Structure 1
Amino acid sequence: MQWFNVLISRFRHRRWFSHLFVSGEPQVTYARKLGFHQEQILMHNLSADVDLFSGINLKKAENEYPRRLVFIGRFSKEKGLLYLLEAWKTIPDRQNWKLVLIGNGPDYAKLKGYPDVEIKDFMPQEELAEELEKAGAFILPSVTEPWALVIHEAACAGLPILASDCCGAVSCFVKDGENGFLFKPANKRSIRKAVERFIRLPELQWIQMGRRSRELSERITPSKVADCILTVLK
């Protein structure tokens, strides 16, 4: 379908639209294939509730760091949770970390029975913010993911982030080795390597990663999104 859009773009998209408003760099690449010039492409069209999630206190104290690796999202095939769980159970020493899965969906029953895993139902954003405040890191093992606003939320919350490199939002909010680690989607070995590498770091490095996430989260805010739109309307 995407290649079909590329083929017909000059007959439809560029005739009907003066600009494209996209999420991030992966979408910019596609917009260029559609024939739009750089000045016709607006960034960024998605923002987390920065005020809510940036209100979460940054982790500061060593020896009190919460060892909870949190996933938030739909329990469905495209989120790659079964790959994560299979990788998780093969880690011989999880360093007292617990995996917390928050959400719901068709794969719910398949997620039960794994060691050191807690499952919670989906909840309002205010409660999600509370869960992220109790978290030590965030993980998103998606097999396919055009953007993933939840990565921005986790960055705002000041959490180290582990994510598959197919997630569009990592281009903006995850610097591999600086504020988290990237891994290959649907690859249990790659997931396990990233998780083990992270949980074996000294606590001070977790704290530093969280601070870096908070810095990166400021690249997109609701006000910056609004300013981008107003620039075109002027």
Structure 2
Amino acid sequence: MNAKVVDRLAMTSRRIESIAFAWSGLPDYAARCIRAVIDRHPGRVKVIGTRPVVPIAGMERSLGQAVHWVDGRDANADWNRLGMRPPDLFFQGGYHRAAFNSLGLRCRSDGGKVVLQTDSNWQGTLRQHLVDPIRHRAFLRRHFDGVFVPGTSGTIYAQRMGYRSSTVFEGLYGADPTLFNGGPPLHSRPKRFLFVGRLVQVKCVVALAQAFVHFAADRSDWSLQICGAGPLRDQLPHHPLIEVSDFLQPAQLADVFRNARCLVLPSLSEPWGLVAHEAVLSGCALALSQVVGAAADLATKSNSILFRPGDVNAIADALHSIASWDTIRWQEAESMSRSVATKFGPEPFANAVAQFIDKLNSEM
């Protein structure tokens, strides 16, 4: 056997010690989740990111180290240019960033393993039945040794795309319970609905505001707080019970959740919905459209109402239903929300990463 073949076999059989994560628009919650891996993993952990649209104050402080910032469009991104060796295990944030694809290919060519991080969720659409499986089988599956997904709907999607169930792990997303927590008992909080997100068409925020106006004609004891920025802000109706504010830094947002009763997320499309996890960590109830991916993991009969997406009347009916809850129901909702919230966050994220390492090491 020649030396080149021996070297190649040595590379493909090396155990996982060094890890790297690549995250698009690196958010604070991702930094906090990766920090849990850094604190537990004995080897090197590096983080590559494209910059978030809304800058997060102290994000690198949450991570505990500097981020290697890249241009996501750079199809020639290279580990050497980043000042590091290719890792033994690379968690690649999606397959739509040219820079991440380049780093993933270079990692595999060096003998490393690559895990796809994706928040695609199963909705049973015609495209998901016919087009997506072909794309994954023909172009994507051979590039990845595993798939890291947020929750149940992501697992279903990955398995439908042909990835082996033994290589798919949940826990990709999750807010930090040391930040989102506490608050007064849910039944004693102000009667306030809360929306957090971009003010864009896919979030259906204008329909939510319109539904609230109809609702408030009968229930003027409730208010709606909208936190976010985007092109649809000027289309929101002006109403004395609707408060609109820009995006808030995480610590400020945590205080807002602690003083709200129910998060409303009326999205037309929502792969998972981290904001839903922030809400249940804070004890809030949930009113979610049926397409929100996190509903499968966080919404139960005790703490939530689900409604048809894009339907103003359906949203208004959901608001009326939640507003009718009595004290016992609010107590049940808070208890259930805090219970399901424990399934996600930095520790479950780090546990999943450890599972990937154990699984891939066992195959070497």
Matched, 1:57 2:183: yes
Contact between 1:70 and 1:135, CA under 8 Å: does it hold in 2?
yes
SS in structure 2 opposite 1:52?
coil
Matched, 1:109 2:237: no
1:74 corresponds in structure 2 to: 198
2:154 corresponds in structure 1 to: 27
For residues 12-51 of structure 1, the aligned pairs below 5 Å read 12-51=139-178
Contact between 2:183 and 2:259, CA under 8 Å: does it hold in 1?
no
Matched, 1:87 2:211: yes
2:58 corresponds in structure 1 to: none
Which letter maps to 2:202?
E
Contact between 2:297 and 2:340, CA under 8 Å: does it hold in 1?
yes
2:285 corresponds in structure 1 to: 160
TM-score, normalised by the number of residues in structure 1: 0.92
Distance 2:137 2:260 in 1: 48
Matched, 1:179 2:312: no
Distance 1:139 1:8 in 2: 34
Which letter maps to 2:284?
L
Deviation at 1:11, TM superposition (A): 3.5
Which letter maps to 1:22?
V
Matched, 1:10 2:137: yes
2:35 corresponds in structure 1 to: none
Distance 2:270 2:151 in 1: 13
Distance 1:119 1:97 in 2: 15
SS in structure 2 opposite 1:232?
helix
Q: Cα deviation per residue 1:113-169 (whole Å; 9 max; x = unaligned)? A: 135211112110100011111112211111111111000000000011111111101
Runs of 5+ consecutive residues of structure 2 not aligned to the other structure: 1-126, 359-364
Which letter maps to 1:155?
V
Distance 1:221 1:125 in 2: 15
Which letter maps to 1:212?
M
1:123 corresponds in structure 2 to: 248
Q: Structure 1 95/197 Cα, relative in aligned 2: closer, same or farther at 3 Å?
A: farther
Distance 2:345 2:213 in 1: 37
Deviation at 1:20, TM superposition (A): 0.7
Deviation at 1:42, TM superposition (A): 1.1
Distance 2:232 2:355 in 1: 43
Contact between 2:209 and 2:237, CA under 8 Å: does it hold in 1?
no
Contact between 2:175 and 2:278, CA under 8 Å: does it hold in 1?
yes
Deviation at 1:58, TM superposition (A): 4.5
Which letter maps to 1:174?
A
Distance 1:128 1:146 in 2: 21
Matched, 1:136 2:261: yes
Which letter maps to 2:332?
Q
Q: Cα deviation per residue 1:82-138 (whole Å; 9 max; x = unaligned)? A: 111221122232150101111111101111313521111211010001111111221
Aligned length: 230
Distance 2:178 2:303 in 1: 21
Deviation at 1:219, TM superposition (A): 1.2
Residue 193 of structure 1, aligned match among 308, 314, 317: 317
Which letter maps to 1:147?
W
Distance 2:132 2:269 in 1: 20
Contact between 1:146 and 1:167, CA under 8 Å: does it hold in 2?
yes
Deviation at 1:8, TM superposition (A): 3.5
Deviation at 1:16, TM superposition (A): 1.6
2:335 corresponds in structure 1 to: 211
Matched, 1:226 2:350: yes
Q: Which moved more, 1:204-213 or 1:148-157?
A: 204-213
Runs of 5+ consecutive residues of structure 1 not aligned to the other structure: none
Q: Which moved more, 1:160-169 or 1:111-120?
A: 111-120
